[in-house]
Amino acid sequence: MEKTMRAIGIKGGKGPADALFIDNIPIPVPGKNQALVKVKAFGLNRMDLLQREGKYPVPPQAPSTMGVEFSGIVQSFGDDAEQDFKIGDEVFGLAYGGAYAEYIAVSTHMLVHKPPELSWEETAGIPETWITAIQAMYLIGEFEPGKSILWHAGASSVSIAGIQLSRENNARAIYVTAGSQEKIDFCVGELGATAGFNYRTDDWAAEIQRATANQGVDLVIDFVGATHFQGNLDVAGRDGHIVQLGQMGGSTLPAGVDISGFIRKRLRLEGSTLRSRDEQYQKRLRDLLVEHAMPKFKDGTFRVFLEKVFPFEQIVDAHKLLESNRTKGKIICTVD
């Protein structure tokens, strides 16, 4: 086998989308528990934009190449790999990094068998966002059927997964916010959200209070941060949870934020990340995905929404599209 491979590099180590280029680097050698996978497709994620700019705390075990999700074919194994996989298997999975390449060395604990019903592109777009939504809803947010839920950035890939999970797990009501009517219509019409509000033009917190007769929602999943903080406190119902997964709208609160709702309504706020979690925790999430979501992908109940597929030589255009905030679903790159 050849010893080097093509992988996406960043000129100067960090920079804008135009700094991305096709580099030639050594093929990784699978370590303990790992498989070497020939990548067929990989998914882009928001954090890739931050990592590209040198603003993401990359975990120590991650290679310098970006990319945390992929689909592909198993080539070889390191020691002590999971027995459930063999050479030639079609798989997809989550990684600490390294997916923007022709080959990736990755823990077998994070691999999933690719079902024939789904394409390479679709499966490459599942791991990061679906596992994040599962973690936020169930492990952190303690969601149960009959609860109500609010997904901010409703047409983001994490929320697209979360809305489908909420719908199939009998949420009492699913509210979303998004930055355009087109995205709200998508969340309600295609995904099954109950109602959506445009955070640019509506007082979304007042609208949700009206829709819930001032009872608020049981669980708020937020990626926006500072600009939504007060609204989240206002719409969280009694004993509600707010799960903070991002800070796209800033991390410094404006003056005048009133935190009295925390005490009055007995609220809980909890932040989380996926990439900083250890392998055993991620394996647990992989198993939840396989058990609870994969059967519903196979029968068509759950869908992966693909915004656009690029050949990986067009990675600059792919990053620019993600940065545009115009997407309603995953951007995927294919590797020939």
Residues found near ligand NAP in the complex (CB under 6 A): 45-47, 128-129, 132, 153, 155-158, 178-180, 183, 199, 223-224, 245-246, 248-249, 272-274, 322, 325, 327
User: Mutual orientation of helices 127-134 and 157-168 as an angle, nearest 10°?
Assistant: 50
Residue 258 and residue 43: Cα distance in Å, rounded? 39
Closest approach of Cβ 227 to ligand NAP, in Å?
A: 6
The smaller minimum CB distance to ligand NAP, of residues 74 and 248, is found at 248
Minimum CB distance to ligand NAP smaller for 109 or for 228: 228
Q: Hey, CA dihedral for 195, 220, 92, 167, is it positive or negative?
A: negative
Beta strands at 34-43 and 103-107: parallel, antiparallel or unpaired: antiparallel
Residue 327 CA from chain centroid, whole number: 14
Q: Which alpha helices (H) appear in the chain, and where do they start and end?
A: 46-52, 120-124, 127-134, 157-168, 181-185, 204-211, 226-235, 260-264, 279-288, 294-298, 315-323
Q: Which residues contact 259 (CB under 8 A, 6 or more apart)?
A: 233
Least distance from ligand NAP to the Cβ atom of residue 223, Å? 4
Nearer to ligand NAP, 7 or 160 (CB): 160
CB of 192 to ligand NAP, least distance (A): 18
Q: Are 225 and 251 in contact (CB under 8 A)?
A: yes
Which of 38/46 has CB closer to ligand NAP?
46
Token readout for 170 is: 């009998």
By beta-carbon proximity to ligand NAP, the closer residue of 70 and 103 is: 70
User: Do residues 319 and 48 touch, judged by C-beta distance below 8 A?
Assistant: yes
Tell me how far, at minimum, the Cβ of 101 lies from ligand NAP, in Å.
20
**Which is closer to ligand NAP, CB of 81 or CB of 245?**
245
User: Do the Cβ atoms of 131 and 94 come closer than 8 Å?
Assistant: yes
CB of 273 to ligand NAP, least distance (A): 4
* Maximal C-alpha separation, the chain: 65
Identity of the residue, 85 or 310, whose beta carbon is nearer to ligand NAP in the bound complex? 310
Round to the nearest angstrom and report the end-to-end CA distance of the chain: 16
Q: What contacts 278, CB < 8 A, 6 or more positions away?
A: none
Closest contact distance (angstroms) between CB of 304 and ligand NAP is 12
Nearest approach in angstroms of CB 151 to ligand NAP is: 10
Eight-class DSSP state of 172: S
- Cβ-based nearer residue to ligand NAP, 128 or 218: 128
Q: Please report how close the Cβ of residue 4 comes to ligand NAP at its closest, in angstroms.
A: 30
